[in-house]
Amino acid sequence: MTPRASEGAAGRKRLVDDFRAGGRPALARAISMVEGGRPGVGALLRELLLARPRACRLGVTGPPGAGKSSLIAALATLMRARGEEVAIVAVDPTSPFSGGALLGDRIRMNDLATDPGVFIRSMATRGSLGGLAATTREVIDLLDAFGFPNILVETVGVGQTELEIASTADSVAVVLVPESGDGIQAMKAGLMEIADLFVVNKSDRIGADRMVRAIRQALLLKTGHGGHDVPAHHGVDLSRVADGTGSPADTDTPAPPPQWNIPVLKTSAGRGEGIDEFLEHFRAHQHYLKASGVLEQRRQSRARRRIRDVVEGRMRRRAREFLGRHPDHSHWVAEVAAGRATAYGVAEAVIPAILRKDPESGT
Ligand SMILES: Nc1nc2c(ncn2[C@@H]2O[C@H](COP(=O)(O)OP(=O)(O)OP(=O)(O)O)[C@@H](O)[C@H]2O)c(=O)[nH]1
Ligand SMILES: [Mg+2]
C-alpha cells in the first residue's frame, strides 16, 4: 500500500469514528465529500451507510414560491417543540434557506439554523450524471445513518425532479397554492403520481377551497373512488391507520388492512395554521407505510435503483477514463470519423480491456 493510500485509510477511519460518535463536523465533511464526488467516497460510504434506515423522510415539492421552505421551517419548529431532532435538505434552493427571517417574526430561520437539534444543508444539483437522484439520496442516507429521526427534503417541483424526489423520500407532500390554477393543470407534471399528501398553502388567500376541491376532483378521476371514500376534511380516515403517531407500540393492536386516501390539507405557513395537521398526516402516512408493507417495498425499489445507478455510474466513469487516457484514442476518433472504422468495432475492441480491471473494486 502506498503511503498516501494508508494515510487516506487512516483519515477515513478517523472520519468514520467521528461520524459514529455523533460529530457534526464529520457529518458535514462526509456530505461535502459526497457532493464533491471525490475519489474514495465509495469506500467511505461503504462504511457509513451500513445502517438500517430509520428516519422518517418527507419530501416537500411544488412550484417555486409555494411556501415549501416556510412549511418546512414551520414543521421543523413544531418537531423541535416536541423535542425531536430534524435535518433539512434544500435541493437547488432558489432562495437560500439559512439566514434572514423567512416569515417575518413567526418563524425565524436563524433560530432553527443555530439550534443544535437542527441540521440544515442546501445543495445544488449537478450535471446529469450526479443530479438529485445520486447525490441527494446519499446525503439523506448519511443523515439517516447519523441518527436524525426526521429528514425534510425540499425540491422545486419542475419536471423530472418530482419523480426523483419520490425515490429519495418515503412520504411526498406536494405543495400548491390557491393560484396554482386549474387543479387538473397542476396534476399534469406528474404530481398526481408522486403525492402522498397534498397541501394547499397560503390558504389565507382567496381560492383555497376551490383549489382543494379541484385536487379532490382530480384524485377522484384518477382513483375512481367515490367521494365518500375521501373524508371531507383531511382526506384520510385516521381510524384506519391506528392513532397516526407512528410509534412502535401502535402495532400491538391488530388493525384492519391499512389504506391510504391521499389527504388534501389546507395550510397557511404565514399564519401558522394547519401545521399540526400537516405533521399529524405525515406521521399517519409513515405509520401507514410501515403497517402496509409499502415502506419495505419503497425501500427495495430504492435499493434496486441505487445498485443500478452506482454500478452504471462507475462503469461509465471507468469507460470515459479509459478512452480519455488511451494512446490510440485520437486515432480511433479519426478512423471512425473517416468511415474506416465504426464505433461498434472500437467498442468490441476496448470493452474487454475496460472490464478487466476496475481499480475501485479492490479493497
Ligand atoms: N400569504 C402567505 N404567504 C406565504 C405563506 N407561506 C409562505 N408565504 C410567502 O411566500 C413566499 C415564498 O415562500 P417560500 O417558503 O420561500 O416558498 P418556496 O416554495 O420555498 O420558494 P422557492 O424555494 O423559491 O421555490 C415568501 O415570501 C413567504 O413569506 C402563506 O401561508 N401565506
Ligand atoms: Mg424554498
pLDDT tens sequence across 191-231: 788 899 999 999 999 999 999 998 898 888 877 653 333 33
Report pLDDT for 132: 60
| Closest-CA residue to 263 (of 291, 244, 290) | 244
pLDDT at residue 359 tops 70: no
C-alpha cell at 50: 451500513
Report pLDDT for 357: 65
Q: Is 135 in the pocket of ligand 1 (CB under 6 A)?
A: no
Q: Do 169 and 295 touch, CB atoms closer than 8 A?
A: no
Counting from 1 in the atom list of ligand 1, the atom nearest the Cα of 267 is 31
Does a structural domain hold residue 279?
Answer: yes
Q: Do 192 and 218 touch, CB atoms closer than 8 A?
A: yes
Backbone angles phi, psi at 121, to 5 degrees: -135, 125
Does a structural domain hold residue 301?
Answer: no
pLDDT range class, residue 125, cuts 50, 70, 90: low
Domain that holds residue 260: 51-292
- Give CA–CA dist 305/307, Å, rounded: 6
Nearest CA to ligand 1 atom 13: 67
- Give CA–CA dist 79/77, Å, rounded: 5
Does a structural domain hold residue 297?
Answer: no
| DSSP label at residue 132 | I
Q: Is 70 in the pocket of ligand 1 (CB under 6 A)?
A: yes
Lowest mean pLDDT among 35-49, 136-150, 262-276: 35-49
- Give CA–CA dist 58/174, Å, rounded: 10
Question: Based on the domain organization, do 187 and 280 belong to the same domain?
Answer: yes
- Give CA–CA dist 166/67, Å, rounded: 19
pLDDT at residue 99 tops 60: no
Q: How far is the CA of 307 from the centre of ligand 2 (A)?
A: 30
Does a structural domain hold residue 361?
Answer: no
Question: Based on the domain organization, do 338 and 222 belong to the same domain?
Answer: no
Counting from 1 in the atom list of ligand 1, the atom nearest the Cα of 65 is 21
Q: Do 175 and 240 touch, CB atoms closer than 8 A?
A: no
Conformation bin of residue 181: beta by default, left when phi > 0, alpha when psi is -120 to 50: left
Report pLDDT for 230: 38
Question: Based on the domain organization, do 45 and 61 belong to the same domain?
Answer: no
Q: How far is the CA of 361 from the centre of ligand 1 (A)?
A: 46
For residue range 155-196, what is the model confidence (pLDDT) as tens digits? 877 666 667 777 789 999 999 999 876 655 656 657 788 899
Strand partners, 58: 152, 171
* Residues 6+ away with beta carbon under 8 Å from 30: 15, 19, 44, 48, 142
The total number of residues shown for the chain amounts to 363
Question: Based on the domain organization, do 93 and 226 belong to the same domain?
Answer: yes
Range picked from 140-149, 220-229, 249-258 for highest mean pLDDT? 140-149
Does a structural domain hold residue 298?
Answer: no
Total structural domains within the chain: 3
As a whole number, mean pLDDT of residues 317-346 equals 96
Q: Minimum-distance ligand to the CA of 120?
A: 2
C-alpha cell at 306: 441505487
If you compute the radius of gyration of the chain from its CA atoms, what whole number of angstroms results?
Answer: 23
C-alpha cell at 336: 471512425
Question: Based on the domain organization, do 37 and 127 belong to the same domain?
Answer: no
Counting from 1 in the atom list of ligand 1, the atom nearest the Cα of 66 is 19
Question: Based on the domain organization, do 227 and 342 belong to the same domain?
Answer: no
Q: At what angle do helices 137-146 and 24-36 cross, to 10 degrees?
A: 160
Q: How far is the CA of 257 from the centre of ligand 1 (A)?
A: 38
Report pLDDT for 123: 78
Does a structural domain hold residue 302?
Answer: no
Question: At 243, is the secondary structure helix, strand, or coil?
Answer: strand
Does a structural domain hold residue 349?
Answer: yes
Question: Based on the domain organization, do 149 and 120 belong to the same domain?
Answer: yes
Question: Based on the domain organization, do 23 and 82 belong to the same domain?
Answer: no
Domain boundary among the residues 35, 50, 65 is at 50
C-alpha cell at 41: 467516497
Report pLDDT for 198: 95
Backbone angles phi, psi at 52, to 5 degrees: -70, 130
Question: Based on the domain organization, do 68 and 215 belong to the same domain?
Answer: yes
- Give CA–CA dist 19/145, Å, rounded: 9
Which CATH number covers residue 90? 3.40.50.300
Does a structural domain hold residue 243?
Answer: yes
As a whole number, mean pLDDT of residues 46-65 equals 90
Half-sphere exposure of 134 (CA within 13 A, CB side): 22
Q: Is 290 in the pocket of ligand 1 (CB under 6 A)?
A: no
Q: What percentage of the chain carries pLDDT values higher than 70?
A: 74
Half-sphere exposure of 106 (CA within 13 A, CB side): 16
pTM of the full structure: 0.82
Question: Based on the domain organization, do 107 and 224 belong to the same domain?
Answer: yes
Terminal C-alpha separation, the chain: 11
Question: Based on the domain organization, do 275 and 346 belong to the same domain?
Answer: no
Report pLDDT for 129: 42
Q: Do 66 and 201 touch, CB atoms closer than 8 A?
A: yes
- Provide the pairing of β-strand 118-123 with 56-62: unpaired
62 vs 17 pLDDT, higher one: 17
Question: Based on the domain organization, do 87 and 37 belong to the same domain?
Answer: no
- Give CA–CA dist 363/295, Å, rounded: 33
